[in-house]
């Protein structure tokens, strides 16, 4: 249906460094952005699948460092590249085809989504610069690496035409989604949150804590300041604790809003955003175990939950103070944001339209459970 022609036209017809955006005439093929995924871990593999579901993007390839079971499953879906020429042999030894190295992938892409472990972005950005290619980084990188930090609800437009954008982390994304919703409806003067974080991801069997609660020995934890990178003018402080679970993070949030309202309007504000989901103990959802089980019943890819789940029973309004609890699926909530960031930097779609396209492709619907 779509052809590669569009993206090649875009590449040849524009200088990527001057943020000039060329819109193709309607009679030509629609733009098809070639997205390279550097890093195929927890986030990278999900972003790759999400990008491949969009009609205006295609995955030009993924960088995989180890020829493990994840590489074996990736090879049936995507072109595999490796970080450097030296890695090719170990893939070939396991009968895995390799298309080239990072330089080759960057050359073959219009934009790179960098999903490498935190701290690697600083090294990788040199390569993207050399090839004059845009890049999107993850929240593990320092906010100073990119021109702007990004959350689709909170500050989509600020990424327009930028070269380097950073999608904030899973926890920050969760906070930014609900806080920006309250800001847009009622104004927010200040906020605070305690983050009970999952110890590690479900595919890991090494990291702990395995049987203790581990306070983050910094106050505020880095999450509060990170929210402020995507929400100008909000004051927020956070505390964090690690708990022995792999399923989700859970946030206990307090927000002071600027205008008077009632509880019904607060709930309706949350319900109005597709990437938030209201859940209830009355429907059997009393812990993160059932929230993640719901994702399985919804038939989501990898049983992921892109939405932030807010318990109806915990939303409380007292004067201008709102309390609520929300659960964050750390493996997947940033996935739709990465897709939107691609559209934002190329100016392909307005905010609401991009969010809608992403949500429809990923099966995110307005729904209350």
- 53 near 77, Cβ under 8 Å? no
Catalytic position from the list 112, 167, 170, 344: 170
Q: Shortest Cβ distance from residue 40 to a second copy (Å)?
A: 10
Q: Shortest Cβ distance from residue 73 to a second copy (Å)?
A: 4
State the number of CA atoms in the 13 A half-sphere of 52 facing the CB: 17
Give the interface with a second copy as residue ranges (CB under 8 A): 45, 66-70, 72-74, 94, 202-205, 211, 247, 279, 283-290, 292-294, 296-299, 301-303, 369
Q: Shortest Cβ distance from residue 301 to a second copy (Å)?
A: 7
Bridge partners for 57 per DSSP: 33
Q: Shortest Cβ distance from residue 284 to a second copy (Å)?
A: 3
Q: Which is nearer to a second copy, 126 or 211 (CB)?
A: 211
Q: Which is nearer to a second copy, 3 or 73 (CB)?
A: 73
Could you give the C-alpha distances from 221 to 117, 224, 271, in angstroms and in order? 20, 6, 29
Report the Cα 61 to chain-centroid distance in Å.
Answer: 19
Q: Shortest Cβ distance from residue 367 to a second copy (Å)?
A: 9
- 226 near 299, Cβ under 8 Å? no
Q: Which is nearer to a second copy, 64 or 133 (CB)?
A: 64
Could you give the C-alpha distances from 130 to 103, 134, 138, 214, 236, in angstroms and in order? 10, 11, 20, 42, 38
User: Tell me, what DSSP letter sits at residue 77?
Assistant: T
Distance between CA atoms of residues 270 and 275, nearest Å: 9
Q: Which is nearer to a second copy, 30 or 41 (CB)?
A: 41
Helix runs in the chain, H state only: 5-13, 42-52, 69-74, 88-92, 102-107, 121-130, 152-155, 170-186, 223-228, 263-271, 288-297, 335-346, 351-362
Q: Which is nearer to a second copy, 115 or 322 (CB)?
A: 115
Catalytic site includes residue 115: no
Catalytic residue ranges = 170
């Amino acid at each position: 249906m779509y052809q590669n022609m569009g993206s090649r036209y875009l590449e040849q017809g524009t200088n990527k460094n001057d943020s000039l955006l060329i819109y193709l005439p309607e009679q030509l093929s629609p733009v098809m952005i070639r997205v390279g995924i550097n890093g195929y871990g927890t986030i990278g593999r999900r972003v790759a699948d999400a990008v491949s579901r969009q009609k205006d993007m295609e995955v030009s390839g993924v960088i995989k460092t180890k020829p493990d079971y994840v590489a074996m499953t990736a090879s049936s879906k995507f072109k595999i590249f490796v970080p450097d020429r030296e890695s090719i042999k170990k893939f070939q030894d396991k009968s895995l085809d390799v298309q080239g190295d990072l330089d080759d992938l960057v050359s073959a892409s219009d934009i790179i989504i960098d999903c490498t472990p935190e701290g690697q972005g600083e090294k990788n950005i040199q390569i993207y610069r050399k090839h004059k290619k845009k890049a999107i980084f993850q929240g593990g990188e320092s906010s100073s690496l990119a021109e702007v930090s990004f959350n689709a609800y909170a500050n989509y437009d600020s990424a327009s035409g930028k070269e380097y954008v950073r999608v904030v982390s899973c926890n920050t994304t969760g906070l930014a989604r609900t806080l920006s919703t309250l800001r847009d409806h009622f104004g927010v003067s200040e906020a605070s949150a305690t983050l009970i974080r999952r110890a590690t991801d479900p595919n890991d069997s090494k990291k702990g804590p395995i049987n203790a609660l581990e306070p983050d020995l910094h106050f505020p934890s880095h999450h509060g300041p990170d929210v402020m990178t995507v929400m100008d003018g909000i004051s927020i402080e956070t505390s964090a604790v690690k708990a022995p679970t792999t399923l989700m993070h859970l946030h206990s949030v307090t927000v002071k809003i600027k205008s008077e309202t009632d509880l019904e309007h607060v709930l309706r504000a949350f319900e109005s955003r597709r990437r938030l989901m209201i859940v209830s103990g009355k429907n059997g959802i009393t812990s993160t175990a059932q929230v993640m089980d719901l994702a399985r019943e919804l038939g989501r890819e990898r049983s992921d939950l892109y939405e932030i789940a807010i318990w109806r029973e915990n939303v409380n309004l007292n004067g201008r103070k709102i309390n609520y609890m929300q659960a964050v699926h750390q493996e997947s909530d940033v996935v739709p944001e990465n897709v939107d960031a691609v559209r934002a930097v190329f100016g392909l779609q307005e905010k609401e339209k991009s969010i809608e396209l992403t949500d429809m492709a990923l099966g995110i619907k307005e729904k209350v459970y």
